[in-house]
Amino acid sequence: MTRDAAAASAAAVAEAFRAEWGAVLATVIRVTGDWDLAEECAQDAYARALERWPVDGVPDRPGAWLTTVARNRALDVLRRSGTEARKLREVATGASDESRAGPMPVDEPEERAGDDRLRLIFTCCHPALSLEARVALTLRTLAGLTTAEIARAFLVSEATMAKRLVRAKHKIQHAGIPYRVPPPELLAERTGGVLAVLYLLFNEGYAAARGDDLLRADLCGEAVRLAEALAAVLPEEVEVAGLVALLHLHHARRDGRVDERGDLVTLDAQDRKRWDRSEIDRALAVLDRALLAGGAGPYVLQAQVAACHARAADASDTDWPAIVRLYGQLAALQPSPVVELNRAVAIAMAEGAGAGLAAVDGLPQGALAGYHLLHATRADLLRRLGCRSEAAASYARALELVTSEPERRFLERRLEEVADPTR
């Protein structure tokens, strides 16, 4: 075997891991009904691929090869431990109609893999699991991140994360959470739950920004990939399309959001030439289709706001009145002080800092008192109105509450500016 062939097959295994891990695992879970066993056997299958592919060549359909190896290994383990009949019976009573047929034929049809991925994501995002568990389980099973990686991304110890994952998997099995795509009457509600998990995943990565922790920033990429996978199997769901467009529009700005030192650059100061235009174009096409299909839900509305920014040559060229209107629609649909705050910022851009400050001060302060962006927004508007000492007080309050490192550095710079009489 040449070194090139070895490198090529190692790359093929890595690519198959990125592209197929979730689907392989999803199918073995369906066949065995045992999450831990499925995970072990999926890992074994990738180890086998590393041994066999350099010798036998990369199979035509790597995903099907891996699934077959993993499933056969799982059935083997069950057979040897004498539990196969019991396990398979459990699956047959607990899961969807298809699984009642028992073990699958050896050659797994390709479209089944998509169905299984969908079953897996709906099960991982079941509302009977805690939100933390849903996020962790989604990253472990669908994105294939290790427990250590997820622990680092969420700033908890590996032991804590391992316990969280074990508890979630046990609850799925013991509480009888069905391994299926929800029936039509539950689909919209449960799809909303899945979208919330993906959105949270993206925001975790986005808030971290670059230079803080690359792994956290990569959560954005995972969220985008999972949202696209969901859109591929649920093409009719306009809110799924809305989320795909929204995440792409934000993700496309990633190179403009931070400067060389890893410091945060606000939207108005970003070099828009650094935005990923091809990603924006794809996102706008997805959004247009969702709008044509009658989409008007929260993700579609947020994507429309992001699209206003993406289409503008610079901050002053932005259609701020449209953004004010979109945030108004969003607030009517999903009343939230954070949405109202965003609307106030847009009012400031459309009608001036004075109008914006009036809108901010008109918000119910209680719910937002501990939110650093309320104080940062007030501070910024006061700064623009020339009220330096009041601005400084609001920056100081925002600094007490902020947790992200790049955001903290940004606020410190602004505080220095307003406190310095020579500037």
Partner 1 sequence: MRYLMLVCVEEGVELTPEQAAEMGPATDAWVREMDGRGVRVRGDRLRPASDATTVRLRDQELLVVDGPFAETKEQIAGFDLLECSDLDEAIEVASRHPVARIGALEIRPLFDQ
The residues binding partner 1 (CB under 8 A) are: 93-94, 126, 128, 174-178, 182, 186
Minimum Å gap between C-beta 259 and partner 1 is 49
Contacts of 100 (CB under 8 A, 6+ apart): 92
**Burial 98-132, CB ≥16 within 10 A → b, else e:** ebeeebbeeebeeebbebbbbbbbbbbbbeebeee
Maximum C-alpha span of the chain:
81
Task: Answer yes or no: are the C-beta atoms of 320 and 349 closer than 8 Å.
Answer: yes
Q: How far is the CB of 93 from partner 1 (least distance, A)?
A: 8
Q: How far is the CB of 233 from partner 1 (least distance, A)?
A: 20
- Which of residues 128 and 148 has its CB atom nearest to partner 1 in the complex? 128
When the beta carbons of 92 and 367 are compared against partner 1, the nearer one is 92
Of 126 and 372, which CB lies nearer to partner 1 in the complex structure?
A: 126
Cβ-based neighbour number of residue 66 at 10 Å = 28
In angstroms and rounded to an integer, the radius of gyration of the C-alpha atoms of the chain is: 24
Report the alpha-carbon distance of residue 314 to residue 381 in Å, rounded. Answer: 19
Distance, CA of 224 to CA of 121 (rounded, Å): 14
Q: Which is nearer to partner 1, 173 or 404 (CB)?
A: 173
Minimum CB–partner distance for residue 30 and partner 1 (Å): 14
Task: Using alpha carbons, list the distances in angstroms from residue 395 to 365, 404, 419.
Answer: 16, 15, 10
Q: Smallest distance, Å, CB 175 to partner 1?
A: 5
Nearest to 363 by CA among 351, 349, 345: 345
Determine how many CB atoms are found less than 10 A away from the CB of residue 49: 23
* Cβ proximity to partner 1, 172 vs 195, nearer residue: 172
CB of 244 to partner 1, least distance (A): 27
Q: Which is nearer to partner 1, 187 or 393 (CB)?
A: 187
In angstroms, the CA 410 to CA 368 distance is: 20
In the complex, the smallest distance separating the C-beta of residue 176 from partner 1, rounded to whole angstroms, is: 4
Nearer to partner 1, 176 or 262 (CB): 176
- CB 94 to partner 1: min, Å: 6
128 or 333: CB nearest partner 1: 128
CA distance 255 to 277: 12
